[in-house]
């Protein structure tokens, strides 16, 4: 097969052997390496200049990100903090292709412009230029996947991650744990369960062996379980959830893992009717919906509607007055799955700005959330919150405030959003008082 070396991203580029690094001729620079010459041919002048620019630039940029309260102490100790000069030095190294440090300089500056000082165009230009000079760098392809993911281009992100694995070579690429985890997450987000499973299974086995460091160890078996429930591997998924519930691998300060452990415990105890919604709740709780392209969110809405349709009848049953408790309990699990599906659909339509579709069921969703059992407080709170957000967009602010007050009444539940609810509710109340005046 013809080797894809990244030229499709940045256009034709010379190979690494043919490429010769050139010095930037820009006069507008704060370079601290002026006057550096070749050391008897041992170190190329451009390479030495690049090392100095990268080291000093990275240091200046990093120290400028420290808490402002430490500034006087660091200056007293003789440290210099200059963000602009740091950026200039990194740019000189990256854009001038100054030796082996040009790649990490481009990545450092691109990630800075991706997160801390948003400038997507600048980050993209840095990575494209670096890929043109070094087309087989796995680090650059991975950085490009992060940029694509941030811009809701999941297919391109997966393609670049695959190229990063290819650039690692056959032996190292097969053990590229974090790249395979990223591919697993991207496959989950695109509902490609059969593609997600082998990647997440590989990562799970590696993490379980204890031979690699992984920050949030509990997330891997949980995400693997969510894929299993869509592939008919029910027993494997349940076993993985049970492993997460009884796991002691996460620290006491790992709130996200503790919350997911509680969520999986509830799923095992109370949600045996169908566990397909776990995957979508995980994506939502990991705050990945804003990173999904519109087409993927539309496909998600259609998929959720299709598999949750059998649970729709439970809504009418649960809303009957005077329904005997045994009959209510018999339909509760199916009702919970239906409310979960409607909540996720509500969130997706909110991000799609499809108010017309959302308002066909959101008023009923707010009422259904009040019928959920006490153990399902997390779902009730999140459902009421998003119901309030949607009806507010429809101009029904009184209904929105009512939903938010109901949501605020729930206190102890995993993935607590009480602060967020209070903040939005305060904005509504302040807006109402302003209009009254």
Could you read off the pLDDT of 11-51 as tens digits, one per residue? Answer: 333 333 333 333 333 433 444 444 444 444 566 888 899 99
Structure tokens at 425: 């509710």
Please tell me the predicted confidence (pLDDT) of residue 364: 94
CA distance 277 to 274: 8
77 CB-near residues (< 8 Å, 6+ apart): none
Token duo for residue 173: 């690429």
- Least confident among 3-7, 159-163, 192-196: 3-7
pLDDT-wise least confident of 9-13, 164-168, 274-278, 340-344: 9-13
Which residues does 394 contact at the CB level (< 8 Å), separation at least 6? 355, 359
**For 53-77, what is the mean pLDDT?**
86
245, 261 contact by CB (below 8 A): yes
Count of alpha carbons within 13 angstroms of residue 288, beta-carbon side? 22
Helix axes 362-369, 325-352, angle to 10 degrees: 140
Residue 84: its pLDDT value, please? Answer: 93
User: CA dihedral defined by 354, 355, 359, 361, rounded to 10 degrees?
Assistant: 30
pLDDT of 13: 37
For residue 277, count CB atoms less than 10 angstroms from its CB and return exposed for 0-12, middle for 13-18, buried for 19 or more.
buried
Q: For position 161, what pLDDT does the model report?
A: 95
Q: Scanning the structure block, which residue is given the tokens 């609810």? A: 421
pLDDT at 215: 83
Residues 150 and 157 sit within 8 Å (Cβ to Cβ): no
Which of 4-8, 130-134, 312-316: highest mean pLDDT? Answer: 130-134
Rounded to whole angstroms, how far apart are CA atoms 406 and 402? 6
Q: Cα-Cα-Cα-Cα dihedral of 294, 295, 298, 300, to 10°? A: -110
Contact 403, 370 (CB under 8 A): no
**Choice among 162-176, 220-234, 252-266, 284-298 with the minimum mean pLDDT:** 252-266
**Could you say which DSSP state residue 64 is in?**
T
The 3-state DSSP class for residue 293 equals coil
Q: How far is CA 280 from the centre of its chain?
A: 13
Mean pLDDT, rounded, for 57-81: 84
**pLDDT for the residue numbered 351:** 96
Give percent of the chain above pLDDT 90: 62
Q: CA-CA distance, 299 to 123, in Å (whole number)?
A: 30
Taking alpha carbons only, the member of 43, 175, 47, 141 closest to residue 100 is: 47
Query: What is the pLDDT, as a whole number, of residue 250?
Result: 57
**215-225, pLDDT tens digit by residue?**
888 899 999 99
Q: Which two tokens stand for residue 116?
A: 């801390």
The Cα–Cα gap between 186 and 161 comes to 10
Report the run of H or E that residue 394 belongs to, with start and end.
none
Average pLDDT over residues 405-414: 93
In angstroms, rounded to a whole number, what is the distance separating the alpha carbons of residues 394 and 228? 38
Q: Work out the angle between the directed axes of helices 102-115 and 120-133 (0-180°, nearest 10).
A: 160
Contacts from 315-323 at CB under 8 Å and sequence distance 24+?
Answer: 315/364, 315/368, 318/368, 318/371, 319/367, 319/368, 319/371
Q: Distance of CA 41 to CAs 20, 38, 96, 233, Å? A: 15, 6, 20, 62
- pLDDT digits 0-9 by tens, 324-376: 878 777 889 999 999 999 999 999 999 999 999 999 999 999 999 999 999 99
Q: How far is CA 358 from the centre of its chain?
A: 25
Say if residue 280's pLDDT is above 90.
yes
């Amino acid at each position: 097969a013809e080797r894809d070396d990244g030229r499709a991203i940045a256009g034709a580029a010379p190979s690494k052997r043919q490429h010769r690094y050139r010095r930037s001729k820009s006069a507008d620079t704060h370079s601290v390496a002026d006057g550096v010459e070749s050391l008897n041919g041992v170190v190329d002048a451009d390479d030495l200049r690049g090392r100095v620019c990268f080291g000093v630039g990275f240091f200046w940029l990093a120290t400028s990100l420290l808490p402002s309260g430490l500034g006087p102490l660091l200056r007293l100790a003789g440290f210099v903090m200059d963000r602009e000069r740091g950026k200039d030095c990194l740019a000189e190294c990256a854009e001038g292709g100054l030796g082996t440090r040009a790649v990490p300089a481009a990545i450092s500056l691109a990630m800075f412009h991706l997160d801390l000082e948003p400038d997507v165009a600048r980050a993209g230009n840095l990575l494209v230029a670096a890929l043109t000079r070094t087309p087989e760098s796995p680090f650059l392809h991975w950085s490009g996947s992060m940029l694509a993911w941030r811009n809701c281009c999941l297919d391109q992100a997966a393609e670049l991650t695959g190229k990063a694995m290819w650039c690692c070579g056959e032996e190292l690429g097969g053990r590229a744990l974090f790249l395979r985890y990223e591919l697993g997450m991207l496959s989950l987000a695109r509902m490609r369960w059969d593609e997600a499973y082998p990647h997440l299974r590989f990562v799970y086995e590696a993490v379980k062996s204890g031979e690699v460091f992984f920050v949030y160890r509990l997330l891997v078996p949980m995400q693997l379980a969510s894929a299993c429930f869509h592939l008919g591997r029910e027993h494997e998924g349940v076993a993985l959830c049970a492993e997460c519930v009884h796991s002691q691998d996460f620290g006491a300060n790992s709130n996200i893992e503790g919350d997911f452990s509680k969520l999986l415990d509830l799923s095992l105890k109370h949600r045996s009717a169908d566990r397909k919604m776990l995957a979508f709740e995980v994506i939502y709780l990991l705050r990945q919906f804003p990173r999904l392209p519109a087409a993927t969110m539309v496909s998600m809405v259609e998929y959720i509607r299709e598999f949750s349709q059998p649970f729709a009848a439970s809504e009418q049953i649960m809303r009957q007055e005077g329904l005997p408790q045994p009959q209510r309990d018999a339909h509760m699990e199916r009702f919970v799955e239906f409310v979960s599906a409607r909540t996720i659909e509500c969130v997706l339509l909110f991000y799609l700005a499809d108010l017309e579709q959302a308002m066909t069921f959101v008023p009923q969703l707010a009422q259904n959330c009040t019928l959920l059992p006490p153990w399902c407080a997390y779902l009730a709170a999140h459902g009421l919150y998003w119901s309030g957000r949607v009806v507010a967009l429809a101009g029904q602010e009184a209904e929105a405030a009512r939903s938010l007050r109901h949501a605020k009444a729930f206190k102890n539940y995993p993935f607590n959003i009480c602060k967020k609810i209070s903040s939005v509710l305060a904005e509504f109340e302040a807006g109402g008082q302003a209009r009254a005046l």
